[in-house]
Amino acid sequence: MARPSPPLHRAVYRLVRKVPRGTVVTYGQVAAILGHPRAARAVGQALRLLPRNLFSVVPWQRVINASGRVSLRGDVGRPDAQRRLLEAEGIRFDRSGRVDLKRARWPGPRREWVVQLRRELPFCATGRNTEPPPHSRPAATAGELTRHTRRGAAGCR
């Protein structure tokens, strides 16, 4: 019997399902939207461990690294499959294998959705249970995400 996914993994899957076709999001952006800007590797781990029965539901291929490239870690055949799936959605790669993030990056979900999701997540990137502080506000745009990434995980105590 398969073990249930940890709360962070489930949150990653829920968020990635919202990424529209023809756009991409970075691992760090997903982590920042979830309130844990230094958890980009945890996002990658969650997607690497995506259960097979969710492959058709969670568009894992839309998550790329911060330089706009498909990450080469993980399964041997996955980077090629990811690129093919993205190209089929209309994402263009330059000669060096990069996506123009200014053009293809998803700005993020509506702020209300992020607030609701954070309330449902009783976890922290450090593994301690905690609620985000009341003064923290969710990041909604790529510019805000960059600013949040420099600050650290605000909800962890």
Q: Which CATH number does the domain housing residue 134 bear?
A: 1.10.10.10
40-81 pLDDT, tens digit per residue, is 999 999 999 999 999 999 999 999 999 999 998 767 788 999
Tell me 20's DSSP state: P
Residue 156 lies in a domain: no
**How far apart are alpha carbons 118 and 48 in whole angstroms?**
22
Residue 1 lies in a domain: no
Provide the whole-model pTM. 0.73
Residue 85 lies in a domain: yes
What is the per-residue pLDDT for 73?
74
Residue 2 lies in a domain: no
72-127 pLDDT, tens digit per residue, is 876 778 899 999 999 999 999 999 999 999 999 999 987 777 767 666 665 444 44
Tally of domains in the chain: 1
Domain holding 60, by residue range, is 7-151
Q: Which residues of 100-121 are buried (b: 16+ CB within 10 A; e: fewer)?
A: ebeebbbebbeeebbeebbeeb
